[in-house]
Structure 1
């Protein structure tokens, strides 16, 4: 930043450990999306009767549900809040800071709505844009305000787990009807058939988003608070590893005890899983950031940094690829693959994206969607090719 002129963050200014964490978190998001939303209807998991699965599928699904489901998304929420705080700080000398950040989020909202309506209704970008607009005013306040607002929002989320709002979730009949229609349309329907059904499903997905929206806001604020503390700029390794050990141990204990039926203290027992999810996300984040800042850790996890720098492009590409694999306008494999098979396909796509991201960023400064996002945010065409 010079003379108050706003400019995008250059690749040289990026924090590799945060990009590494984003790239690793993307694997968790991909695994859950491909297994629980693309492979079958996400609403099947809310029915008491589940189809019979092989021992391998049960094992894979159990591990994903206990240690990855919602944890990877929570980690992404923390990272989004951190990224928003970084942008806010680096635009401090610009008179256009507020308008640029609002434009950044409005452009993200436009991308999200296009993704939601035309590509895949499991979209998270729309929720992130709306949550970001709510969080943005808090960035003008002191650090303690971020912490207090984060605790209040997460407290509201946890309260909703104990006392869910009446009428927020459809009944079993509506869910079964939607699942039956999904089994009929997704594997055989053409693009317009699938598109029309996606739009009809939006109210159900909106209920899911409404239930986790306070958590998203809270984690955004917590991620911004973590950046403000300085812990992510010059990470104290011992502190990060201590946080990781404590959060992962306590979070895993809560989730495992709840899953095993050992926590049954009235309504309070319902807090074990959501609280454990938040703790695991914090623990995963602290541990990976700590490792990524070690010399050996850079060698071990450095492959994930290009993937994280292009997370927006890769996220949208996954929707396009999996839509073609699972829906009728492509291979039509919806409800025809086992959990393990779907996960294997997802990992293969992820590995392909690792190589593609590294190849692309050797030639260009940003991923294609990231470049478009920056160009629309600043209102000026951004340089794309790497300079010698």
Structure 2
């Protein structure tokens, strides 16, 4: 749905998630050393070190959970849309997930092997099966998933301390992989695709193991929020959000500090595993704090935050567009700057790309109802040709946004 009936705070949150995901993902494009544990030549001084640590602290492992939460929330809106159209929900949603999976495979093969869309498509099938759950059951199952996943990682960290050699990394093998990645990603377009395919074969199972369970839990929490209409009346949710913030912010912040220390300090492998276990447990708390802070700030500061709304309405197009921009800058499709740019310069590129996307979104949505990829996915979902040209309705004003809490997201 377009126009003033949209829930603008959800669109703005999705725009915020886009920025957080870009700040993490761009590091994968810019440096082949990211997440290897090896000293990264892209870190040139104290400013680079500080920015690198800040991204780990505030963004890494948190914003994919925010995206996942919003995916779960939008799932309930798809249910409402199907009911409104008088169409069976499950066939529509399964087509949507199939379309998302196809887009994800193309994205992983051509642009970014760390693609999350294929995982979303698979996990989305579980949401389809949970279509008739009430909010309480969804929350209960999500909490169980989060707890069990954290427990598994704490057990693994205990095993790592008991048998450190079993978790030791092979620095020589990591360095060979770094060199192969650098050669492949800065080679010809064919070599770039081949390197993405090689990396995807090993990355996809790791992403499922590291992110899959928490992403599914976030889906379910977003699904519950949709069932409860949390964002339809922000005034009604104020007390709950403040209580959530008081608990989630300190727990999430302490866990993020501990995790960041284990990532950026020269610590043993068992300590690194323990740091990841802590992060697995506490990252959902910090994500919840972000949602609470943003939503509490929205009624008073909607005018300042409204610039995120158009970007959030085109989130899928921009997620893919970010990978395209990064590929043209860092990979063999374009400037081949991988391994040649400092962390500070990389962050500046990310902020510039996002600023361009925000401006482009506003221009595009004055003329069209949907982002280009959103339109294609909607057409495949509904087996229709939705109107693309914008009618009288526009993206909504900051004044409308401040009172928004009503209506449905498309």
TM value normalised by structure 2: 0.84
Q: Which residue, 14, 24, 31 being the options, matches 1:40?
A: 31
CA distance in 1, matches of 2:342, 2:200: 26
Structure 2 residue 94 is matched with structure 1 residue 90: no
How has the CA–CA distance of structure 1 residues 168 and 305 changed in structure 2, closer, same or farther, with 3 Å as cutoff? farther
- Provide structure 1 residue ranges, at least 5 long, that are not aligned to the other structure: 1-8
How has the CA–CA distance of structure 1 residues 387 and 281 changed in structure 2, closer, same or farther, with 3 Å as cutoff? same
How has the CA–CA distance of structure 1 residues 340 and 378 changed in structure 2, closer, same or farther, with 3 Å as cutoff? same
| 1:322 alignment counterpart | 326
Query: In 2, are the aligned partners of 1:156 and 1:214 still within 8 Å (CA)?
Result: no
Query: In 1, are the aligned partners of 2:134 and 2:224 still within 8 Å (CA)?
Result: no
CA distance in 1, matches of 2:324, 2:291: 28
Matches within 5 A, 1:45-124: 45-51=35-41, 53-92=44-83, 94-124=86-116
The number of equivalent residue pairs is 373
| 1:226 alignment counterpart | 225
| 2:396 alignment counterpart | none
Q: Once the 2 structures are TM-superposed, how far is the Cα of residue 91 of structure 1 from its aligned partner?
A: 2.2
Query: In 1, are the aligned partners of 2:68 and 2:218 still within 8 Å (CA)?
Result: yes
How has the CA–CA distance of structure 1 residues 270 and 348 changed in structure 2, closer, same or farther, with 3 Å as cutoff? closer
CA distance in 2, matches of 1:169, 1:154: 26
Q: Answer with 82-91 or 274-283: which moved more.
A: 82-91
Q: Which residue, 134, 141, 147 being the options, matches 1:142?
A: 134
Matches within 5 A, 1:274-293: 274-292=280-298
CA distance in 2, matches of 1:80, 1:334: 31
| 2:254 alignment counterpart | 253
How has the CA–CA distance of structure 1 residues 170 and 81 changed in structure 2, closer, same or farther, with 3 Å as cutoff? farther
Query: In 1, are the aligned partners of 2:114 and 2:200 still within 8 Å (CA)?
Result: no
Query: In 1, are the aligned partners of 2:150 and 2:278 still within 8 Å (CA)?
Result: no
Q: Once the 2 structures are TM-superposed, how far is the Cα of residue 197 of structure 1 from its aligned partner?
A: 1.2
CA distance in 2, matches of 1:173, 1:164: 24
CA distance in 2, matches of 1:60, 1:164: 30
CA distance in 1, matches of 2:198, 2:142: 33
| 1:200 alignment counterpart | 198
Q: Provide the secondary structure at the position in 2 that maps to 1:256.
A: helix
Structure 2 residue 183 is matched with structure 1 residue 184: yes
CA distance in 2, matches of 1:199, 1:213: 20
CA distance in 1, matches of 2:173, 2:3: 48
Q: Answer with 25-34 or 157-166: which moved more.
A: 157-166
How has the CA–CA distance of structure 1 residues 164 and 136 changed in structure 2, closer, same or farther, with 3 Å as cutoff? farther
TM value normalised by structure 1: 0.89
Query: In 2, are the aligned partners of 1:170 and 1:204 still within 8 Å (CA)?
Result: no
| 1:153 alignment counterpart | 145
Query: In 1, are the aligned partners of 2:153 and 2:274 still within 8 Å (CA)?
Result: no
Q: Provide the secondary structure at the position in 1 that maps to 2:340.
A: coil
How has the CA–CA distance of structure 1 residues 142 and 237 changed in structure 2, closer, same or farther, with 3 Å as cutoff? closer
CA distance in 2, matches of 1:225, 1:168: 38
Q: Provide the secondary structure at the position in 2 that maps to 1:387.
A: coil
Report which structure shows greater RCO (CA 8 Å, sep ≥6): 2
Q: Provide the secondary structure at the position in 2 that maps to 1:380.
A: coil
How has the CA–CA distance of structure 1 residues 163 and 141 changed in structure 2, closer, same or farther, with 3 Å as cutoff? same
Q: Once the 2 structures are TM-superposed, how far is the Cα of residue 213 of structure 1 from its aligned partner?
A: 0.8
How has the CA–CA distance of structure 1 residues 11 and 163 changed in structure 2, closer, same or farther, with 3 Å as cutoff? farther
What is the CA RMSD across the aligned residues, in angstroms? Answer: 2.5
Query: In 2, are the aligned partners of 1:44 and 1:179 still within 8 Å (CA)?
Result: no
Q: Once the 2 structures are TM-superposed, how far is the Cα of residue 172 of structure 1 from its aligned partner?
A: 4.8
Q: Once the 2 structures are TM-superposed, how far is the Cα of residue 152 of structure 1 from its aligned partner?
A: 2.4
Q: Once the 2 structures are TM-superposed, how far is the Cα of residue 25 of structure 1 from its aligned partner?
A: 1.2
Q: Provide the secondary structure at the position in 2 that maps to 1:140.
A: coil
How has the CA–CA distance of structure 1 residues 177 and 134 changed in structure 2, closer, same or farther, with 3 Å as cutoff? farther
- Provide structure 2 residue ranges, at least 5 long, that are not aligned to the other structure: 160-165, 263-269, 393-410
CA distance in 2, matches of 1:29, 1:37: 11
Query: In 1, are the aligned partners of 2:113 and 2:196 still within 8 Å (CA)?
Result: yes
CA distance in 1, matches of 2:171, 2:123: 29
